[in-house]
Structure 1
Amino acid sequence: MSIYFCKPKFSLSLLAALPLLYGQQVFASETLHELAQDLQAGKTTAQQIFDSYDARIQIYNQGIQAVTTRNPQARADALAVDLQKTPRGSLAGLPLLLKDNIAARGMVTTAGSLALADNLAVQDAPVVARLRAAGAIILGKANLSEWANLRSSQSTSGWSSAGGQTRNPYAPERSPCGSSAGSGAAVAARLIPAAIGTETDGSIVCPASVNGLVGLKPTIGLVSRTGIVPLSHSQDTAGPMTLNVRDAAMLLNVMAGSDAQDPATRAANRHRSKDYTAGLHTSALQGKRLGIVRKLVDGYDTATKMLFDQTLVTLIAQGATVVDQIDLPYLEELDKDELTVLLYEFKADLNAYLAKTPATVKTRSMEDVIAFNKQHADTVMPYFAQELMEQAQAKGKLSDAAYRQASARIKLRAGKQGIDAVLKKYKLDALIAPTTGTAWLIDYKAGDVLEGSASSPAAIAGYPHLTVPMGTVRGLPVGLSLFAGAWSEAKLLNMGYAFEQARPALPAPSLATTATAANK
């Protein structure tokens, strides 16, 4: 789904170089934690780390189209870290990518749309400012599903008019899921050790799952949303996408906190953990009670169910008690009300955002965006339309009874009467299910074809949701979801870490194979 959608071309010399530029034999340290240790031990420098990942992006990105923009200031920022005397921040010299709906000074923020091609940020979003203050190096921006996948019900994940089609590094003909598609694919391909995604419903945990990553959607209000192109103020949040649980905890340490510009974060400083890495130990599952939401399991194929059953054996072996046949109420009723809420909030929140963009941005409202898309339909809408944006535009104000009633109803049903009630009734620490199925074939006529999803209950309630790789099915990753009540990030990370340490390591994708396939 790109206006310049074409097959990338690779020379023979470039293809011959691929094995030399990728693999453990060249890059021994790939996680944030490992890179931080190497920096502290003087085994490498921030510039060397930058150069390594910059080279990977130059070689491999055209095969998966995950990275849309590279930060021209990044190497200078890495040099500044090398010249800095102690003390350094916890992320000093560590490179990150940002989903391209998050503002970073000196870079354009497109939300995947050509309508925002001139949306140059003059300052960082607060969450980015936090990352920079901790020493992180922002290498660039990652592609996403255009308008966070709420332009059309027939959209294809990972496609945007601004960035093209992102592909799954494990199988380039398959979806990276969305909307944080580029963030997920880039980390999986080891183009970057970690990335920041955003989620409204599934947009962190789904791409993390199908790309074999850890993804954390925090409690709404733990992480600032200021400076992020909005979809829904009741469900939007940024979160980390990483190669392991420890890295996710490291990032959350920096990202979490109150922001005076985002009223939802008023309680963040009171609820955030002092150190989300402190409880990461292999015995964290001992004595924990986990509830299987069977309605979120039954729709998968036999191989995925078998992998989930093997995961249950691992959880029990690590000391957890698994309670089966948990009935999470209102699952079927949530969808319609959620869409109503999202459409109302998308219109109101996007209009408020666009009104404050630089004068260079000519689309000042959702109505303007819809008109822009129609005017440039050949390049902006070659595969799917914008009926969801048109439905959102037709909605009234947030004071409408239809919105207020739907919003109150789903928050109650997903939260207090849903997740909270079930956790209390069965004395559970978390609910579990497969995050989603394996990555599906990219098909612009069919759109996304998900086998299942565990994302909606926590997304609608505004509660945290962690996905950790379970393993692979037919060579494709599948994640395990753990979700619980508000502000339970530390508990979820601890349990996810214990599971991660107990299960076999997930194989990395073969990028030489990906590059060759993309050239066919």
Structure 2
Amino acid sequence: MQRRNFLKTGSLAGLTLATLGAASCSPSSSKKESPGDAAANKTDDFALNEVTIDTLQEKMKSKEYTSRSITEMYLKRIDEIDKNGPKLNSVIEINKDALNMADAMDKERAAGKVRGPLHGIPVLIKDNINTGDNMHTTAGASAIGDNFAKQDAFIAHKLRAAGAVLLGKTNLSEWANFRSTHSTSGWSSRGGQTKCPYILDRNPSGSSAGSGSAASANLCAIAIGTETDGSIVSPSSVNGLVGIKPTVGLWSRFGIIPISKTQDTAGPMARTVRDAAIMLGALAGEDPQDVYTLTSKGKVEPDYTKFLNADGLKGKRIGVEKDGMKINPAMDAIFKEALDTLKSKGATIVEVELYKQLKEIGKNSFTVLLYEFKDGLNKYLSEANSKTKSLADVIAFNKTNEPKAMPFFKQEILEQANAKGGLDAKEYLDAVKKTTTITRNAIDKLLKDNKLDAITAPTNGFAVCIDLVNGDYDNGFGFSSPAAMAGYPHITVPMGYAYGLPVGISFISSAYKEADIITLGYAYEQASKKRVKPEFKEVVG
């Protein structure tokens, strides 16, 4: 969602201050009770609500549950909540082999083999991540609705090796929100519109809308999203989740439908910092198929849970982005409480100005994305199991199939990207240098000059209304771009609620400082305990 405003303005200024309307998207007084209202009024007594990975492991060890029984419960939950009832529409495809995978993990456990903390744990992954199985990989685009990947993405392979059960794939903003400046986050021509589980007429944000909605609604133990700019942290924030966007290079991008080789990464979306940390370490590592991961050598921690310290805020210095301190009264009150919590746990707060330094960088970043999207997508499609073999083919398909592919918004970003040249173009090379170098230098200098452990701000504003006519609109604030453009790590943790809508607090730092921000995020989480499961309300109020 934040990238939509980012692209409309061409600068970071479009991601800062605005007025937020908290009114319902549609008048509640004239509405009859809907399936969503009925779900909200009914006690949600799902046995696995808010369950953690550790608890699931304990229950499998004691034989109270098996991986199969857990998988069956989640499949039933998806049917009841996602496809019926509130109809979140967050899961785009179920894995037909999920129960077979669970059975295999149960047999290994019975034989005394447990691969690790993800053994037998059901995971949902975003539908732009290759799986060499019976599931499609489409980025939500009907243009490549025939694509069955030839092999797993590197991180999908690591998931299988860790013993996870691939439960299915989640819906997303089509082409990971890189199609139109008037798009609606969480909508794809293949999957339709995903909803926010807190307020059903609200947008779950994107592009990892399905992963955010599903994990928050307890349709899986944990989910995986991808981010170029905001697509993990933004839907995590508005769906009351912990989201970690790793340093670019910590997780391989091989086998993920690309936007940007300089900014893309996948990452975990979970209900707790601990679960996100478990997933982060399990999928990290060098991959010769993604040269960016070679920079991670000697910097990867196989187990990030060792950095979970409830007293981790003590003695820390944290910079507070000034633009995040005056957004709107509801947000300001929540953020002030969060800052008070940080200080009460021993952190020193220092006001800083990062956005002011990066005000004009957005235009360069958009140029980078246009060039890299064309180059990366053409390479991906040239080897894909789809009749669509290039970005030009995608554009042509959408025009020919406009009623299905483009019923609400068009494809001007695809067309802009297709008009660009190769990655040897001077315009591209200059834009990369300005975007990456300036942003990294700005963040690193702030950290060094102020002796900071991290920089914090609200992750974004509250969830906006689903609006397929006008597309996304500014939700007041967004803090994704600095870490995204730098390729630096970013964690968001639930910070509070207003109008029944959650919002997160962010911590960012320098390259491969995941351990540092996980410590801060965990200490804040344990001190605040702001995660509340959704109630599937129809409207605000």
Output the TM-score relative to the length of structure 2.
0.89
Rounded to whole Å, the distance in 2 between the matches of 1:238 and 1:167 is 22
Counterpart AA for 1:509: P
Q: CA deviation at 1:329?
A: 4.7
1:390 and 2:415 correspond:
yes
Query: Counterpart of 1:5?
Result: none
- Is 1:415 paired with 2:437? no
- Residue 515 of structure 2 is aligned to residue 490 of structure 1: yes
Structure 1 residue 363: Cα displacement: 1.2
Deviations 1:309-340 (A, max 9, x none): 00000001111111024345532111100100
**2:247 paired residue number:** 219
Q: Residues 246-300 of structure 1: CA distance to partner in whole angstroms, max 9, x if unpaired?
A: 00000011111001111110132411113200020210111111001112443x2
Residues 496 and 17 (structure 1), Cα distance of their counterparts in 2 relative to 1, 3 Å cut: closer
Q: In structure 1, which of residues 403, 428, 432 is the aligned counterpart of residue 452 of structure 2?
A: 428
- The gaps in structure 1 that reach 5 residues or longer are 1-9
Q: 1:331 aligns with which of 340, 358, 380?
A: 358
Aligned equivalents of 2:389, 2:323: Cα separation in 1: 42
Opposite residue 151 of structure 2, the aligned amino acid is Q
Equivalent-residue separation in structure 2 for 1:239 and 1:506 (angstroms): 19
Q: How many residues align?
A: 499
| Alignment match, 2:270 | 242
Distance 1:151 1:17, change over 3 A: closer
Relative distance call for 1:374 and 1:260 in structure 2 (3 A) is same
TM-superposed CA distance for 1:27, in Å, is 3.1
Q: Which amino acid aligns with 2:503?
A: V
Aligned to 1:402: 427
Matches within 5 A, 1:7-46: 19=42, 22-23=44-45, 26-27=47-48, 30-46=51-67
**2:388–2:394 Cα contact (<8 Å) kept:** yes
Provide the identity percentage.
47
Q: Quote the Cα distance in structure 2 between the aligned partners of 1:235 and 1:480.
A: 21
1:274 corresponds to 2:302: yes
Q: 2:334 aligns with which of 282, 307, 312?
A: 307
Which segments of 5 or more consecutive residues in structure 2 lack a partner in the other structure?
1-32
Matches within 5 A, 1:136-151: 136-151=164-179
- Give 1:86's aligned residue: 112
Q: Give the CA deviation at 1:19.
A: 4.3
| Residue identity matched to 2:66 | T
Contact 2:316/2:346, CA 8 A, preserved across alignment: yes
Query: Do the aligned partners of 1:183 and 1:196 also contact (CA within 8 Å) in 2?
Result: yes
Cα deviations by residue, 1:110-158 (Å, 9 ceiling, x for unpaired): 1010011111023211101111111100000000000011100111000
Match of 2:146 in 1: 118
* Cα distance in 2, alignment partners of residues 219 and 149 from structure 1: 21
1:158 maps to a residue whose letter is G
Distance 1:453 1:73 in 2: 39
Q: Counterpart in 1 of 2:16?
A: none
Q: How far apart, CA to CA, are the structure 2 residues paired with 1:183 and 1:389? A: 24
| Alpha-carbon distance between aligned partners in 2 of 1:47 and 1:315, rounded to the nearest angstrom | 41
Which of 369, 378, 381 lines up with 1:354 in the alignment? 381
User: Paired residue for 1:343, among 370, 385, 392?
Assistant: 370
Tell me if structure 1 keeps the 8 A contact 2:171–2:210.
Answer: yes
Amino acid at match of 1:31: T
| Contact 1:102–1:228 (8 Å) recurs in 2 | yes
Query: Aligned pair in 2 of structure 1 residues 297, 404: CA closer, same or farther (>3 Å)?
Result: farther
The DSSP-based 3-state class of the residue aligned with 1:339 is helix
The worse-fitting range, judged by mean Cα deviation, of 209-218 and 263-272 is: 263-272
TM-score, normalization by structure 1 = 0.93
Change (3 A) 1:18 1:30: farther
Aligned with 1:346: secondary structure? helix
SS at 1:271's partner residue? Answer: coil
Q: Following the alignment from structure 1 to structure 2, what is the Cα–Cα distance between the partners of residues 11 and 462?
A: 43
CA distance in 2, matches of 1:294, 1:38: 46
1:252 aligns with 2:280: yes
Q: Distance in 2 between matches of 1:204 and 1:29?
A: 20
Superposed CA offset, 1:407-463 (max 9, x none): 0011111102x1101000100000000000100011123211231100000000000
